[in-house]
Structure 1
Amino acid sequence: MKTKLYHLLEHRAADCRYFVIPVWKGSGYTTMFMQVQMPHILFTGLEDYKARGTQAAPYFTVSHYKEFAETKDLVLIRGDIVFVNKLTDSEAKWLLETAQSFYLNDTRYKLVERFNKKTSEFDFKDVLRALDMPVM
């Protein structure tokens, strides 16, 4: 990731730390709850988070490494799937790319802001539409 994009992600994540992203699984989707504490991002199942709160174990963790930010204009990213029975490699890759798109795309970021700041106005169907997923 380019350093400029990382700084935008970091700035927006400091303001809006949480979001929900559906991951398509065959005939439906599983909703993932995302918590951003830069340089880390944690993903867990929304149902697990509802049941266990902060004690819910992450399914997937992402860490950003800024060692090359100044010299190479590059931030390295490492993702680790904690529960391989909950998330495949391709789903985790898609989840990270999608999460980044919600924080780095101005239009999509409005949904993140609404989720964090105007909860009563947030509609999950808007996330599904943004991702071209069927509204069920």
Structure 2
Amino acid sequence: GKVFGEEQFSTLTANAAACPFFIVPVIKGDGAFFNLLSQWQDTVFLLTFLDDYQADPTSAQPYLTISTYGELLESKQMGLLRGDVGAALKYAEAEAVTQVLLSAYTDPEQFGRVSTFNNAPDEFDFEEYLSFVKGP
């Protein structure tokens, strides 16, 4: 679980509502990767294997679910997040995916990629994004 301040939580949920889809590469130890597709639904990020989603969106099973809870925003100025990891992901992979996803939706510079992915997908540069996620 994670705790977000009110402003960060509000940014996360507003950006997710505006741009509900994004892709998150899961980097394996040997440099190989596979992609998860993230879809925001109401208060939850559902992440599934991209190939499964492309084959049949209705039957694609979630690899990771990140639920948001805003009940404490008024009284404590904080929002809570909880991740549920499916059997197909290792815990460390789920942590890395969560960090990449949350940063993509809360960091203004990174959110530009999310916006492009949703609103101008032909302009989304996956190779540049993959290099960014892999790091130096």
TM-score, normalising length: structure 1: 0.90
Q: Is the CA contact 2:27–2:134 (under 8 Å) kept in the aligned structure 1?
A: no
Q: Is the CA contact 1:2–1:74 (under 8 Å) kept in the aligned structure 2?
A: yes
Structure 1: gaps (5+ residues)? none
Deviations 1:57-86 (A, max 9, x none): 11111111122111111111111112x2x2
Q: 1:38 to 1:6 in 2, by over 3 A?
A: farther
SS of residue matched to 2:78: coil
SS of residue matched to 1:131: helix
- Determine the structure 1 residue equivalent to 2:122: 120
1:40 pairs, out of 18, 37, 44, with 44
Higher relative contact order (CA 8 A, sep 6+): 2
- Determine the structure 2 residue equivalent to 1:69: 73
Looking at structure 1, the residues matched to 8 and 133 of structure 2 have their Cα atoms a distance apart, in angstroms, of 21
Task: Name the % identity.
Answer: 34
Looking at structure 2, the residues matched to 52 and 7 of structure 1 have their Cα atoms a distance apart, in angstroms, of 32
**Which stretches of structure 1, 4 residues or more, deviate above 4 A after TM superposition?**
none
1:96 pairs, out of 87, 95, 98, with 98
Query: RMSD value over aligned CA atoms?
Result: 1.4
1:9 CA drift (Å): 1.0
Identify the structure with the greater strand proportion: 2
- Determine the structure 2 residue equivalent to 1:4: 7
1:22 CA drift (Å): 0.5
Number of residue equivalences: 132
Which amino acid in structure 2 is aligned with residue 10 of structure 1? T
- Determine the structure 1 residue equivalent to 2:63: 59
Which amino acid in structure 2 is aligned with residue 34 of structure 1? S
Structure 2: gaps (5+ residues)? none
